Amino acid sequence: MALLAGRTFAVADRVPGIAGEAFDFGEWYSAAVVKRSRADGREPATLTHLSVRAADEFEAVIPLEQLGAALFQYRIDGLPLDKGKPIRLYVPDGSSACLNVKSVVTIGLVSDPTLGEEAAYGFRNEITPAGMMELRKSRD
């Protein structure tokens, strides 16, 4: 992802006091999605929100307007992240510190204006039918 973004910079340039190297969300999106779609002869859908999910099932859905300075931290001192791996999202202009999501494992590019202008975040806590059966067995 960092290679696609084209340039990297110190996280502290946008988030004072935070070590590490990052790439800009907008630059990555432009290179990874917009340019590739156009190269394939397609016009990309209009992005309205970014959805990210963490390894611990925390999820944030962030409106495009809050992503102007968003960045993904991907290494510290030249090494992959140890804490917050594989990447961490920082949203310096976001409406909540909860939009700074560690251990991002899924990134969704959303084109849905009905989601509105407010960010949403929290734990998904999804339970599958198989998980329900395991829970029931453990209580018996």
Question: Per-residue pLDDT averaged across 110-116, rounded?
Answer: 95
pLDDT at 130 over 80: no
Give the residue carrying structure tokens 């968003």: 70
pTM for the full model? 0.84
Q: What is the pLDDT of residue 44?
A: 78
Residues 6+ apart with CB under 8 A from 65: 117
pLDDT at 128 over 80: no
Total domains in the chain come to: 1
Write out the residue range of the structural domain in which residue 84 sits. 2-139
pLDDT at 127 over 80: no
| Percent of the chain predicted with pLDDT > 70 | 91
